[in-house]
Structure 1
Amino acid sequence: MAAPLRYALITLCWGMMLIIYLPLLPAAGVLLTPAFSLFHWQQLFSDPQLSQALLATLISSLVAIGGALLLTLLVIATLWPSPGWQRLASRLPWLLALPHVAFATCALLLFAEGGAIYGLLPALRPVQDSYGIGLGLVLAVKESGFLLWVSWAILGERRLAEQTVVFKSLGFGRGQCLLYVILPALMPSLSIALLATTAWTLSVVDVAIIIGPGNPPTLAVLAWQWLNSGDPDDQAKGALACLLLLAILALVAGVARQLWRGWRANFPHPDGVRNPHFPSLPGRGVSLMLPLSGLICTALLAYLTHASLPATPTVNNSLWLALSSAALGAVVCLLWLEWGPVRHQRWVDLPLLLPALPLAAGQYQLALYGWFDGRFDTVLWGHLLWVVPWMLFMLRPAWRQIDSRQIVLAQTLGWTRGRIFLRLKCPLIVRPLLSALAVGFSVSIAQYLPTQWLGGGRIPTLTTEAVALSSGGATATLAAQALWQLILPMVFFLLTALLARRIGHLRRGLR
């Protein structure tokens, strides 16, 4: 490839990434500007809602992360490695395609006062949940699917499976195998996924609005309300609340790291005592419950819609935003992987590892300064800040596994870098690319904060409408919004899966 064209492509990929990640700078400004004001800190800590919101945030987040990790380890200890594990892994994409808002809406319509369960059993009374326990349980079930999916990729190493088989053949049980073999190999690689899940759980706004607690809400919802206020003092309190979320994230990550190090240092090695008995019923029940929860969610929403349909502009906005985000994200990711830096840049993962609220606030600041809020392309730009990192997360391992010997062979035949990229590398990762497109589509469908702020209420989507309707009594309309929010990513996942299967059939070397 000619040098001028190569330099142009390098400049293009860096330029696109900088445009997408530009909100990181005003986000830092939004957080740090009031941080040096003692008056604003005093206002924040004197707010009567803060203590309860902070407690609800901590409890819901610990229940969500601890519950998701517990469910994941329980399923791994029971099923891995076995044909049942492979069957569960094949069903995980359908649980991942289920948006959080649709899942939370289903939980609301089931368990809230006046919901389906209390309609069937009127003698029951809903419990007042002021600490976010229900929110934590809903997120635990949903996030366990993501952790299982990441674990499936990590546990695909053949050597680890062989070690597990040998360990079990010596008479050790599945519980001992989990503690002595699987956990030491799994947790270091799973730590990034746990950190991303913790950051998202701490700053989730849409699901917290739907599930509650309501008054006072979680700290993320409270910060969002303050940042939406027209009072500069309230906006400063919202920024400081975002700083508190970052501090909580750092504290939780630090404590978890020290607990893991202490456990590894003090946990005894196998002493020869065999304990082959391990209860398999809980793990098998969880493995059945997770895919079944997606089916129950779909069936309940379909039943409650009563032939109600969402507005056509809402569906069109969601569909075109998701398609455009996935397509642009794929172009950006491929250019970045080929013409970006060779070493992985840690700042690329920041949107996954930081609470979403300050990042969306940074986007909103740029949109206001540039006078381009309330436009479709602005909302699309806002979605890319989360779509691109998730697609890179999907594509990077497959890109690294491309055999360098094939590239050297192509170079000896006189192929240029551009031809190697188009004719060799892209066909080799076409199936991971299809999976990344499906994930990018689903991530875009689920975006609430950037859509609400950057769209200024003029770009309604299925997610924003479902959150807005969750506090009202229009059950059929709410169920229809959530159902279509569920249908779109599932149909896209199905199409990409069928296309990947067709490609694998036609090109057996890509299987």
Structure 2
Amino acid sequence: AALTLISPALSLTHWQALFADPQLPQALLATLVSTTIAAVGALLIALLVIVALWPGPKWQRMCARLPWLLAIPHVAFATSALLLFDDGGLLYDYFPYFTPPMDRFGIGLGLTLAVKESAFLLWILAAVLSEKRLVQQVIVLDSLGYSRWQCLNWLLLPSVAPALAMAMLAIVAWSLSVVDVAIILGPGNPPTLAVISWQWLTQGDADQQTKGALASLLLMLLLAAYVLLGYLLWRSWRRTIPRVDGVRKPATPLLPGITLASFLPLTGVLCVVLLAILADQSTINSEALINSLTMGLVATFIALLLLLLWLEWGPQRRQLWLWLPILLPALPLVAGQYTLALWLNLDGSWTAVVWGHLLWVMPWMLFILQPAWQRIDSRLILIAQTLGWSRAKIFFYVKCPLMLR
């Protein structure tokens, strides 16, 4: 679908019209600031929590509570932050002098995304940190007197580098292209590049739609620039890792990480409580609510069915193309979907919306299901086969219960 955006990029005149727009510089600056804060903030929060709690029972309890935040939609989380911190919000009534000034650079947007995406980053790293080898090595380093930050710098980061790189790529791609949260918390005039691109794409003027398509491609170029910058920073950091020579640094305080670990899962609960308190039931559109719930349930059921079939009967080797919707900015893909829906005369239909959701629901569900699927003990499958169980019976009575755990 994203290939439908390439044709406008072949004209120099179209690019000149885009860069001549007076809104572009400020929108680009707000996008870069908010994305950088979101990525760096999420990484910092996750590392502080890992240093403070892992390994140990507190880490296990924190991981069990992470779904409290992961399950909250981004829009609901952003709305709660707006109602809490904005001018006229709950905190404004008690601390009016601490109301932040007009946010032209998307700082509040970046901070909100950092908190939300840190839970996603911790969820990914938790699967890697569950390896017994890492736990044993950290215990040895602790017993030799090395600080937790030395363990993180010399052992954990090199070990989790592949998973961390993919997670950071997904966070940067999402932060660059997020539209709904940016409308709620981002700057208004001009907005972020993703919002202004979406506004251009949804206008009836062909020239504006072309500018929107080029702005979407500009988001892809920004993602490539972030990838290159991250790679260079990683190479520079690797050169700073010394050989293990027995040098010990003084222990660092763990209170910030412990505080963040305690507060982070609760932000999802606080979000729901705040929205429930401030919601006016008389303004609820029951038809829109039922529509949203139905679409969400149908998309989830279809994705779950397809993914279970894929995991059971699909190819065993990794299919990297399945992760592209997570690793690429969402806006160019949505614009491509919208163009295809127009061609098929499906725009605005219930089917088109569910199809649009499936493009992201499936890889996210696969991201959750695949680690549990890979941890299934093959010896249990072998025992069931020796008892004469069919493949379908093994799937329903062995694999599914193990995945539910």
Give the TM-score normalised by structure 1. Answer: 0.76
Report the Cα offset of residue 79 of structure 1: 0.7
Kindly provide the CA deviation profile for residues 96-132 of structure 1, in whole angstroms up to 9, marking residues without a partner as x: 1111111100111112122222222334443111111
Partner of residue 82, structure 2: 108
1:57 and 1:240 mapped to 2: Cα distance?
A: 16
Cα distance change on mapping 1:379 and 1:306 into 2, 3 Å: closer
Of 286, 289, 314, the residue aligned with 2:263 is 289
Cα distance change on mapping 1:49 and 1:162 into 2, 3 Å: same
1:184 aligns with 2:154: no
146-155 or 118-127: bigger deviation: 118-127
Of 186, 189, 195, the residue aligned with 1:221 is 195
Kindly provide the CA deviation profile for residues 374-409 of structure 1, in whole angstroms up to 9, marking residues without a partner as x: 222221111111111111112222333344455556
In structure 2, what residue type is equivalent to 1:28? Answer: L
1:298 aligns with 2:272: yes
Of 389, 394, 399, the residue aligned with 1:424 is 394
1:159 aligns with 2:128: no
168-177 or 276-285: bigger deviation: 276-285
Partner of residue 379, structure 1: 353
Partner of residue 445, structure 1: none
Partner of residue 57, structure 2: 83
Partner of residue 35, structure 2: 61
Partner of residue 453, structure 1: none
2:180 and 2:100 mapped to 1: Cα distance?
A: 22
2:402 and 2:335 mapped to 1: Cα distance?
A: 32
Report the Cα offset of residue 264 of structure 1: 1.3
Partner of residue 482, structure 1: none
Task: After TM superposition, list the pairs within 5 Å mapping 1:445-456 onto structure 2.
Answer: none
Kindly provide the CA deviation profile for residues 136-180 of structure 1, in whole angstroms up to 9, marking residues without a partner as x: 000001111111111111110011000000000001111111111
Kindly provide the CA deviation profile for residues 320-367 of structure 1, in whole angstroms up to 9, marking residues without a partner as x: 111111111011112222333232221111111111111111111121
Contact kept in structure 2, 1:395 and 1:432, CA below 8 Å: no
Of 99, 117, 126, the residue aligned with 2:73 is 99
Cα distance change on mapping 1:72 and 1:431 into 2, 3 Å: farther
Cα distance change on mapping 1:400 and 1:295 into 2, 3 Å: closer
1:269 and 1:426 mapped to 2: Cα distance?
A: 50
Cα distance change on mapping 1:368 and 1:209 into 2, 3 Å: same
Kindly provide the CA deviation profile for residues 200-242 of structure 1, in whole angstroms up to 9, marking residues without a partner as x: 1100000000001111111000110110111111111111111
Partner of residue 370, structure 2: 396
Contact kept in structure 1, 2:202 and 2:209, CA below 8 Å: yes
In structure 2, what residue type is equivalent to 1:205? Answer: V
In structure 1, what residue type is equivalent to 2:248? Answer: R
Instruction: Give aligned-pair identity as a percent.
Output: 56
Contact kept in structure 1, 2:23 and 2:190, CA below 8 Å: yes
Partner of residue 3, structure 2: 28
Partner of residue 146, structure 2: 172
CA-atom RMSD in angstroms: 1.9
Give the secondary structure class of the aligned counterpart of 1:373.
coil
Cα distance change on mapping 1:306 and 1:312 into 2, 3 Å: closer
Report the Cα offset of residue 44 of structure 1: 0.6
Cα distance change on mapping 1:404 and 1:288 into 2, 3 Å: closer
Partner of residue 329, structure 2: 355
2:287 and 2:326 mapped to 1: Cα distance?
A: 30
Partner of residue 19, structure 1: none
In structure 1, what residue type is equivalent to 2:119? Answer: G
1:269 and 1:282 mapped to 2: Cα distance?
A: 28
1:315 aligns with 2:275: no
Q: Is there any run of 5+ residues in structure 1 with no aligned partner, and where?
A: 1-23, 434-499, 501-510
Of 196, 200, 205, the residue aligned with 2:174 is 200
2:83 and 2:270 mapped to 1: Cα distance?
A: 12
1:46 and 1:426 mapped to 2: Cα distance?
A: 60
Of 25, 41, 66, the residue aligned with 1:51 is 25
Report the Cα offset of residue 414 of structure 1: 6.2
Q: Is there any run of 5+ residues in structure 2 with no aligned partner, and where?
A: none
Give the TM-score normalised by structure 2. Answer: 0.95
2:401 and 2:101 mapped to 1: Cα distance?
A: 47
Contact kept in structure 2, 1:171 and 1:276, CA below 8 Å: no
Cα distance change on mapping 1:303 and 1:336 into 2, 3 Å: same
